[in-house]
């Protein structure tokens, strides 16, 4: 009788994403960071109960912290539940942090969390180095998106007829 080895799910399982960030910011580069969580926070994330809206990352004293991330309290916890809005530490290499310090001190760059997901059982945050869009940039990107939709619609109609 052969022994079966457990299969490990190496696929990334998305918990939540910040779709509004792509509308409000121009994403220059992306990077992955680990996140320090409590047990009830991990369980709540596995249920998909998180919100990245209005969250941002900030570098203080050589460490990166995530502000404004809302992880709902775990429903089955009793007395030992977490604060939903607490500041959470992100795990990055020192070289990455030093590079980010230089970039964020430039005019107009911010660190914005784009999505939270599980990779090989560990919670990860995808950070985007972003520059805020002006109103006319937002209008232009919406116009471009609408034009591509219209082109796709016309192509589909042409194929069907």
Q: Where are the domains of the chain?
A: 13-133
What the block records as the tokens of 51 is 């919100």
What digits encode the pLDDT tens for the residues 40-96? 888 888 888 888 888 888 888 888 899 988 888 877 777 777 767 888 899 989 888
User: Which percentage of the chain shows pLDDT scores above 90?
Assistant: 4
Q: Return phi, psi of residue 151, to 5°.
A: -65, -45
What is the reported pLDDT for 65?
92
Q: Which CATH number fits domain 13-133: 2.40.280.10, 3.30.565.10, 3.20.20.140, 3.40.50.720?
A: 2.40.280.10
What is the reported pLDDT for 145?
85
What is the reported pLDDT for 47?
84
What is the reported pLDDT for 113?
92
Residue 9 has pLDDT above 60, yes or no: no
Chain centroid to Cα 141, Å, comes to 21
Strand partners of residue 116: 16, 125
CA–CA gap between residue 27 and residue 76 (Å, rounded): 37
**Per-residue b or e along 21-40, where b marks 16 or more CB atoms closer than 10 Å to that residue's CB:** bbeebeeeeeeebebebbeb
What is the reported pLDDT for 131?
83
Q: Which of 23, 25, 20, 16 is nearest to 110 (CA)?
A: 25
Residue 97 has pLDDT above 60, yes or no: yes
């Amino acid at each position: 009788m052969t022994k079966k080895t457990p299969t490990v799910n190496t696929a990334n399982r998305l918990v939540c994403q910040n779709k509004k960030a792509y509308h409000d910011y121009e994403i220059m580069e992306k990077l992955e960071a680990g996140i320090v969580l409590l047990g009830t926070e991990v369980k709540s994330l596995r249920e998909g109960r998180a919100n990245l809206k209005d969250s941002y990352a900030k570098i203080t004293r050589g460490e990166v912290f995530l502000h404004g991330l809302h992880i709902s309290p775990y429903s089955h916890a009793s007395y030992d539940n977490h604060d939903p809005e607490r500041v959470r530490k992100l795990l990055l290499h020192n070289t990455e942090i030093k590079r980010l310090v230089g970039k964020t001190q430039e005019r107009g760059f911010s660190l914005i969390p784009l999505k939270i997901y599980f990779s090989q059982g560990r919670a990860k945050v995808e950070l985007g180095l972003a520059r805020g869009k002006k109103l006319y940039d937002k209008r232009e990107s919406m116009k471009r998106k609408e034009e591509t939709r219209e082109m796709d619609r016309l192509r589909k109609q042409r194929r069907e007829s």
